[in-house]
Amino acid sequence: MNEKIASLLRASSDIKAKLASDPAFLSQVDASARILAKTIGAGGTIYACGNGGSACDAAHLTEELVARYKRERPGIRAMHFGDLGVLTCWSNDYEYKSAFERQALTFCGPKDCMIGISTSGNSENVLRALSAAKSKGSACIALLGKDGGKIKSACNLSLVVPAQDTERIQETHITIIHIWCELLETEFKAY
């Protein structure tokens, strides 16, 4: 059992070590953090969406921004598109695949940033939300997996975790989210 556990820990750390040695990926993380800092500095809001575990990651990101990550500071305007009332109302009356799109069209504007999270890179509802946000003038960032899928080219910046296993992708996405929070609180102090 210990070897199985050690193997799973190594699988997780190997992906992160590979990305830590990739200057292009590091530059993308830096550039995405700068987009978030610019959004905050302009008085905009950071919006996020995803499905399943990625929805939880979107909520995790926004709660770290609104409340705090590690340091006492003013709240940062952030909201995820996982409100149960909105999702179930829209999905019941229309369809689930446009529920995030509807929220992006309702809330997003030119000062804002939309973050779409999809381990496959092909979640239609996330793609539609990003396209809608872009049409409203928002900056768009994606956290993706595998080869980036259809969403990769729909954003200003796409961070692709080159792994096939959903759990490895999600583990890396939450690490990137924590890196963003650290940079926003220590390097950019955009609040």
CATH number at residue 127: 3.40.50.10490
21 domain-assigned: no
The amino acid sitting at 35 is I
- Which whole number is the average pLDDT over 144-148? 98
16 domain-assigned: no
CB-based contacts of 72: which residues, under 8 Å, 6+ apart? none
Q: What are phi and psi of 116, to 5 degrees?
A: -105, 135
Q: Print the domain residue range for 63.
A: 42-69+76-188
125 domain-assigned: yes
pLDDT tens per residue, range 103-144? 999 999 999 999 999 999 999 999 999 999 999 999 999 999
Asked if residue 20 has pLDDT above 90, the reply is yes
- Report pTM: 0.96
8 domain-assigned: no
Asked if residue 189 has pLDDT above 90, the reply is no
**From CA 56, how far away is CA 129, in angstroms rounded?**
17
